[in-house]
């Protein structure tokens, strides 16, 4: 198969869509609900395999991608102040789209390619649709030109939070002019590793140095990255033929494997859900009508208990200051800055100004907040899940009557994983949830959050933004009063003291903003998890009702049982194929 054939065809996506269609056909044949299957099918259709290109400002990302596209489209003269994430897609009709932040939502506006270079402050990303043969070849992969690590704008930090669990593979550039893995890049690589994403590494601008120099730099970068990742990697060099090297890399990436990594578990879970529904119907047809009616009554009672528990948990969330969780996040931030204090002082002594060091502290805070918030998010969702599971323990025997003895544990496990970014496979930008809420109502939007984005994303993105927005005003004063006449050691101690004195204020300001955000996001998590538990129980009860109707109407039970047994076998066969 040629590269072009490979890249324009995504067999696993087509296969998964066919799999979902078969699940819908099987479920429809035995009158089981297919709403979740339809939602997953649409998500599979819409999902894009994003490949962000990351590195420091002036690492040569735009030149690299221009070489691949075949002409200069991305400006290489862009400044850190005007940098914005740019997605590159194939189209015979060339145009651009900009995603505009409207506060509570995002707007998409079509503009010309030329106007896309005039970046506005409220732009979150730019999408360029280009008639490039190489972009056509790599479909369904979508390249993303990311702002540099050291961009002073908040947009880059937001872009990292937005793309971190959306990118399926990362291309990381280190310029020969830098010659090393900087602290900012190290943190970025660790963030990517924490999300379970793969990376490819290049030394860029190789044509500016001798072959021996480039080889030494590549070896040094390889050693540094291997220390970070704890695994063997390869670092390639990029010179004037950078585009060809990117083409080789992308040809070696299997989009089908990346797509399966994202959706296989979700598809298997859907099959298990449908199998449970079928098993419930079979068991209900084997029971007598009175037993079924009693089970339905108990399930309605269970739902009412869950709703009361939900209301109590929401009331607790609104009064909870989340001191322990907030301490965990702010302590991680404080420890991260303290751990970099010597390097920050060295930067100041070597001429870095306050803005540059603010950018570096900003980067430190961002990388500290992501794992800290993810840990808090997992802890909160696990507690919520356990609370709901405890409410259902007394109904375990009832569930067991319908061939679902482990349904409570399965619901709990699925719910507790919603707070883990690394385990939320099917995801997107948090604005999707807001759009869903406006279009289909709050309750449906909670399902959208659970099924398409994940609670963890809704936790992390707002807190990242909180952390980055107030830092400049805190740090701006640090370097204003440093005197050139002071002795070096005295200067070092003053800078150290100023940065250390800023840490408590950073933590206080962060605390003041994190606490209400945790309350809000916890309330959303409670609603989402409650909706998931209630939805599962309602589906089970509805299947029992349908079976009881068939029993009461003297339907051909033997024929119904045969259909259900066939559906059960078909789902088992399908699961084995996936």
Q: Tens digits of per-residue pLDDT, 197-216?
A: 889 999 998 888 998 999 99
Query: Distances from the Cα of 278 to the Cαs of 27, 29, 213, 569, in angstroms?
Result: 8, 11, 65, 10
Cβ neighbours, 10 Å, residue 211 = 10
- Please state, rounded to an integer, the average pLDDT across all residues of the chain: 81
| Overall average pLDDT of the 550-559 stretch | 81
What digits encode the pLDDT tens for the residues 84-98?
789 999 999 999 999
Quick one: fold of 50-253?
Rossmann fold (3.40.50)
What digits encode the pLDDT tens for the residues 405-423?
778 888 887 777 666 665 5
Angle at 238 (CA atoms; ends 232, 244), nearest 5 degrees: 105
What digits encode the pLDDT tens for the residues 249-260?
888 888 898 889
pLDDT at 465: 57
Query: SS3 breakdown of the chain: % helix, strand, coil, rounded to 5?
Result: 70, 10, 20
Domain boundaries along the sequence of the chain: 50-253, 259-534+554-577
Q: Which residues contact 208 (CB under 8 A, 6 or more apart)?
A: 176, 177
Q: Are 452 and 39 in contact (CB under 8 A)?
A: yes
Using the predicted structure, report yes or no on whether residue 455 has a pLDDT greater than 90. Answer: no
What digits encode the pLDDT tens for the residues 320-357?
989 999 999 899 989 998 998 888 888 878 877 666 77
**H or E element, residue 420:** none
Instruction: Concatenate the DSSP letters of all residues of 261-318 into one string.
Output: HHHHHHHHHHHHHHHHHHHHHHHHHHS-HHHHHHHHHHHHHHHHHHHHHHHHHHHHHH
Q: Which residue has the higher pLDDT, 490 or 316?
A: 316
Using the predicted structure, report yes or no on whether residue 547 has a pLDDT greater than 60. Answer: yes
pLDDT at 425: 41
Left if phi > 0, otherwise alpha if psi is -120 to 50, otherwise beta: which for 103?
Answer: left
pLDDT at 292: 93
Left if phi > 0, otherwise alpha if psi is -120 to 50, otherwise beta: which for 196?
Answer: left
118 CB burial (10 A radius; 0-12, 13-18, 19+): exposed
- Band (pLDDT 50/70/90 cuts) for residue 8 is very low
Q: 3-state secondary structure string, 104-164? A: CCEEEEEECCCHHHCCCCCEEEEEEEECCHHHHHHCCEEEEECCCCCCCCHHHHHHHHHHC
pLDDT at 420: 65
Using the predicted structure, report yes or no on whether residue 484 has a pLDDT greater than 70. Answer: no
Q: Are 387 and 306 in contact (CB under 8 A)?
A: no
pLDDT at 238: 86
| Overall average pLDDT of the 367-373 stretch | 80
Using the predicted structure, report yes or no on whether residue 23 has a pLDDT greater than 90. Answer: yes
pTM over 0.75: yes
What digits encode the pLDDT tens for the residues 436-447?
344 334 444 333
Q: Largest Cα–Cα distance of the chain, in whole Å?
A: 99
């Amino acid at each position: 198969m040629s590269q072009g054939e490979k890249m324009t065809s995504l067999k696993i996506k087509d296969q998964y869509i066919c799999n979902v269609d078969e699940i819908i056909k099987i479920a429809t044949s035995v009158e089981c609900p297919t709403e979740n299957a339809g939602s997953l099918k649409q998500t599979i259709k819409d999902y894009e395999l994003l490949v962000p290109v990351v590195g420091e400002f002036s690492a040569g990302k735009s030149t690299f991608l221009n070489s691949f596209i075949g002409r200069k489209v991305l400006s290489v003269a862009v400044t850190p102040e005007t940098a914005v994430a740019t997605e590159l897609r194939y189209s015979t009709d060339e145009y651009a789209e900009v995603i505009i932040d409207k506060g509570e939502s995002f707007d998409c506006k079509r503009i010309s390619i030329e106007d896309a270079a005039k970046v506005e402050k409220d732009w979150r990303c730019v999408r360029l649709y280009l008639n490039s043969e190489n972009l056509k070849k790599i479909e369904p992969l979508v390249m993303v030109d990311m702002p540099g690590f050291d961009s002073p704008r908040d947009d880059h930090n937001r872009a990292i939070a937005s793309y971190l669990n959306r990118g399926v593979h990362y291309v990381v550039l280190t310029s020969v002019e830098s010659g090393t893995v900087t602290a900012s890049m190290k943190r970025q690589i660790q963030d990517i590793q924490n999300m379970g994403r793969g990376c490819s590494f290049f030394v860029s601008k190789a044509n500016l140095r001798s072959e021996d120099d480039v080889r030494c730099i590549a070896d040094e970068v390889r050693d540094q990255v291997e220390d970070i990742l704890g695994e063997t990697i390869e670092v390639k060099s990029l010179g004037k033929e950078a585009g060809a090297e990117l083409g080789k890399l992308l040809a070696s990436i299997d989009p089908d494997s990346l797509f399966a990594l994202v959706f296989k578990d979700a598809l298997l879970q859907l099959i298990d859900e449908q199998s449970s529904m079928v098993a419930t119907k079979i068991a209900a047809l084997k029971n007598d009508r009175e037993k079924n009616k009693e089970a339905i009554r108990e399930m309605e009672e269970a739902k009412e208990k869950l709703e009361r528990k939900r209301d109590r948990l929401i009331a607790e969330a609104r009064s909870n200051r989340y001191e322990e969780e907030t301490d965990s996040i702010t302590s991680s931030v404080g420890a991260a800055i303290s751990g970099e204090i010597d390097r920050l002082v060295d930067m100041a002594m070597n001429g870095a100004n306050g803005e540059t060091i603010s950018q570096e502290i900003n980067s430190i805070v961002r990388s500290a907040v992501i794992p800290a918030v993810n840990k808090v998010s997992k802890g909160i969702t696990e507690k919520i899940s356990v609370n709901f599971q405890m409410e259902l323990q007394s109904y375990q025997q009832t569930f067991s009557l319908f061939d679902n003895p482990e349904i409570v544990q399965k619901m709990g496990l699925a719910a507790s994983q919603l707070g883990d970014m690394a385990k939320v496979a099917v995801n997107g930008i948090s604005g999707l949830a807001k759009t869903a809420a406006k279009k289909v109502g709050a309750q449906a939007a909670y399902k959208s959050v659970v099924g398409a984005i994940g609670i963890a994303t809704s936790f992390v993105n707002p807190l990242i933004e909180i952390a980055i927005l107030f830092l400049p005003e805190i740090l701006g004063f640090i370097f204003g009063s440093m005197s050139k006449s002071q002795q070096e050691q005295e200067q070092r101690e003053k800078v150290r003291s100023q940065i250390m004195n800023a840490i408590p204020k950073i933590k206080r300001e962060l605390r003041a903003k994190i606490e209400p955000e945790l309350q809000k996001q916890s309330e959303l998590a409670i609603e989402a998890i409650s909706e998931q538990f209630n939805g599962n129980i309602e589906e089970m009860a509805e299947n029992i009702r349908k079976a009881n109707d068939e029993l009461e109407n003297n339907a051909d039970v033997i024929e119904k049982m045969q259909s259900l047994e066939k559906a059960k076998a078909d789902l088992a066969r399908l699961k084995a194929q996936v």
